[in-house]
């Protein structure tokens, strides 16, 4: 039966989720999905609920209602440590580099070897981010913002994830660094088969990395979805949903 074909089943699905912080009802009925190997972005202004959406998926702030389904299994009530065993990596906005650990140790700690074609390894990370090799023995927390972002992405990749969630990876970084380092590595990740959910306010980068975009309005309500081509053709869509 066609509906049981794992090839067409979404790898990640949110069905009408409702998420709260205490009594604050932040996400009021959010539905979205990602196909396997797809790169999708969530675009929206500050405070609409983008980070809370990622926290809901990860079980850090689990939804009170609604369902989250990862690769066919409902994970909505699972603890975070179990959810990430489904192959989920998270690159938080604050990067959370472990202080007191070298660049190499930050990477080693996240290593999870998976059989398969050309898995991520320390060597592969260093070949994509040569600056990390040069700083291998340096305390990770002493790196520049851009280097810490590379380390945070590298660390996520060391787990050989199936789905990578990124929270505003371009935030606070010089445009040249975003264009020449962060964007190409994310494009390469998608080409190599990783499924990406990219939260951004930098729509220019999101358009280059992701092919489909969810435009989030207040209370986590998805105003609409659009392809990169649609966003390029109609600049009013971006203006209506982002501060540009
Ligand atoms: N820990 C928290 N406790 C209470 N309210 C929070 C907390 N974190 C975020 N919020 C509120 O939830 C809303 C959505 O926040 P967030 O998901 O961080 O938005 P975004 O990532 O889109 O900027 C905001 O109004 C924010 O003030
Ligand atoms: Mg946020």
The Cα 177–Cα 165 span in angstroms is: 20
Residue 50 CB–ligand 1 contact under 6 Å: yes
Residue 49 CB–ligand 1 contact under 6 Å: yes
For a mutational test of ligand 1's pocket, the pick from 49, 166, 218, i.e. the residue with the most ligand atoms closer than 8 A to its C-beta, is 49
For residue 48, give the ligand 1 atom closest to its CA.
Answer: 22
Residue 220 CB–ligand 1 contact under 6 Å: no
Using the mean position of ligand 1's atoms as its centre, give its distance from the Cα of residue 37 in Å: 29
pLDDT at 222: 87
pLDDT in tens, 13-68: 999 999 999 999 999 999 999 999 999 999 999 999 999 999 999 999 999 999 99
Residue 46 CB–ligand 1 contact under 6 Å: yes
pLDDT at 2: 44
Residue 55 CB–ligand 1 contact under 6 Å: no
The DSSP bridge partners found for residue 25 are 20
pLDDT at 229: 96
- Write the residue with the smallest CA distance to atom 24 of ligand 1: 47
**Residue 216: pLDDT over 90:** yes
| pLDDT (average), residues 79-91 | 97
Using the mean position of ligand 2's atoms as its centre, give its distance from the Cα of residue 94 in Å: 10
The Cα 99–Cα 237 span in angstroms is: 41
**Residue 7: pLDDT over 70:** no
Residues 6+ apart with CB under 8 A from 61: 19, 20, 21, 52, 55
Given strand 12-21, what is the order of strands in its sheet? 24-34, 12-21, 65-70, 73-74
Residue 92 CB–ligand 1 contact under 6 Å: no
Q: Assign 5 a pLDDT band (cuts: 50, 70, 90).
A: low
pTM, rounded to two decimals: 0.95
For residue 168, give the ligand 1 atom closest to its CA.
Answer: 21
For a mutational test of ligand 1's pocket, the pick from 17, 20, 21, i.e. the residue with the most ligand atoms closer than 8 A to its C-beta, is 21
pLDDT at 233: 95
SS3 73: strand
pLDDT in tens, 123-160: 999 999 999 999 999 999 999 999 999 999 999 999 99
**Residue 79: pLDDT over 50:** yes
| pLDDT (average), residues 192-207 | 96
């Amino acid at each position: 039966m066609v509906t049981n074909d794992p090839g067409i089943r979404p790898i990640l699905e949110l069905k009408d989720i409702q998420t709260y912080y205490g009594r604050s009802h932040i996400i009021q009925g959010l539905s979205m999905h990602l196909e396997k190997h797809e790169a999708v972005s969530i675009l929206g202004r500050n405070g609409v609920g983008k980070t809370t959406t990622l926290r809901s998926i990860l079980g850090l702030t689990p939804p009170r209602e609604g369902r989250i389904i990862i690769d066919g299994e409902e994970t909505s009530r699972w603890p975070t440590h179990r959810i990430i065993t489904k192959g989920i990596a998270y690159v938080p906005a604050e990067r959370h580099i472990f202080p007191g650990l070298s660049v190499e140790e930050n990477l080693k700690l996240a290593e999870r070897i998976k059989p398969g074609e050309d898995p991520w390894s320390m060597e592969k990370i260093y070949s994509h981010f040569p600056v990390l090799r040069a700083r291998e023995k340096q305390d990770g927390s002493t790196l520049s913002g851009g280097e810490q972002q590379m380390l945070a992405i590298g660390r996520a990749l060391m787990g050989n994830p199936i789905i990578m969630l990124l929270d505003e990876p371009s935030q606070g970084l010089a445009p040249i660094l975003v264009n020449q380092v962060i964007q190409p590595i994310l494009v390469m990740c998608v080409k190599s088969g990783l499924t990406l959910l990219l939260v951004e306010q930098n729509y220019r980068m999101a358009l280059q990395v992701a092919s489909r975009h969810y435009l989030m309005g207040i209370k986590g309500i998805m105003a609409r979805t659009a392809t990169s081509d649609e966003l390029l053709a109609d600049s009013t869509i971006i203006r209506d949903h982002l501060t540009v």
